[in-house]
Structure 1
Amino acid sequence: MDVSLVLEYGWVLLILIGLEGILAADNAVVMAVMVKHLPGNKQKKALFYGLVGAFIFRFLALFLISFLVNVWQVQAIGAAYLFYITIHHFYKKKKGHQEEALLSVKEKEASFWLTVLKVEVADIAFAIDSMLAAVALAVTLKPAGWFQIGGIDAGQFLIMFAGGMIGLVMIRFAANKFVELLKKYPNLENAAFLIVGWVGVKLLIFTLSHPKVGVLPHHFPESFLWKLIFWSVLIGISLAGYFFSVKKQNKRYSKEEAS
């Protein structure tokens, strides 16, 4: 292969990895919140099973991307679900329900597999954005000219596949870190659920801007204005939640030391 072609492919792959890393941040918070209610040993297991399923789905998505682009209902369902778990969290907290403590062993086992299923559904909603970003970058590359995979040049396909898989690993790695952070700072939970709701808004924006829905301009989700709004709010929630949690944690430690 031509050296210039190798450099071009390598450069695009680096850009794609960086993009996947940015996309992984908010996705990982959602995953961490979804598995948080499980016992510690099952949290990583649920994320791992989700990783396996997402790996298979993203591989298939590369072949089905032209079809999936038109299925706006996937992101609409994802948005609705994220809104539901956010509202449910604050409702349950307000009512003071302690449902988790009352679950039987059998119900907790069912909860584990239900959680894995929810992680898979969320992965599907997130995967469409991720794969579209990968396709948009990969098609700018000069075809390697080896052979075709699913109607796509093999070189371009491999770049899309590598970027998507690296993105998945980033999400899972970050999700594990977020789970640990939520354990260390329990008061961070409310901020995490607010972020989940805000990511739901992101999926809703993608749904409303879909050509078949047409409520918002098609390119609005990619506009500078929306990205500025989304990341400003996301970072604002994160920082406010973190500083509030640390402050509350320090007060608790001070009280414990005083007593």
Structure 2
Amino acid sequence: MVNLMRKKILAIVEGEKKEPEILRRVLDISGLKQREIVPYKANIYDLYDRLYSEYGDTIDDVDIQEFLKEIHPDPESQDILDGNYTDILLIFDFDPQDNRYSAGKLIRLLEIFNESTQMGRLYINYPMVESFYHFRSLEDDSFLKEMFNLAEISPGSIYKERVNRLTCIHQLRDVTKKELAYMIRLILKKVNRICERECTAAELADTLQDVADCQIQRLSAQQSMYVLNTCILYVYEYNPRMLDWLDYR
């Protein structure tokens, strides 16, 4: 039995609206009520550049809460960042169209932020957070074949329009436990396909790095990648039995 009362989560997300909305709904469904969300307001490559500028070769020793306190001097954010948390999540888009894109930077951050109960765990959404809605159906395996190409995310509105046309998830507030479990089951199947092995909840840190490696190689070779939202895998990691929700009526 997972003790939800002991979980207190700090989530550092890229944007100010979409990411907090999705994350709050996912955590609400999962019973994780103690959480704070701080928007970074810039992308993953900005984060790397600022961290490296601040810490240089000691970047492995970054204190993400102290770092963010320098960026967010407002009293509300300071209070949040002064708190004690059991888990720290960092949720960012892949953004390969950014002129600062670097596979090396991305992999380096995944290596540094690989444990939610310590320095934090980084979750990358491919290509962006709207991948949460990229399901034509939750009742078949069509999601496993869903791809995107670089042209669709330059500008990003092309991809967002595509997702709006095809999604079977029309109202975030109406997503149920059972539907979330279906989404996670499909994501896990897709992760296994990408990595060509069975990935367990206990191996999630290594799995996220393997996914990034495979996606980066595919982008380089074919200018296309698999659609994948990894941030909701956090709730599977802390409670793998959540897939039992598939049996709910």
- Which structure carries more strand by proportion? 2
Superposition TM-score tier, normalisation by shorter sequence? under 0.3
The structure whose RCO (Cα within 8 Å, separation 6+) is larger is: 1
Answer with 1 or 2: which has the greater Rg.
1
* TM-score normalised by length of structure 2: 0.28
* TM-score normalised by length of structure 1: 0.27
- Which structure carries more helix by proportion? 1
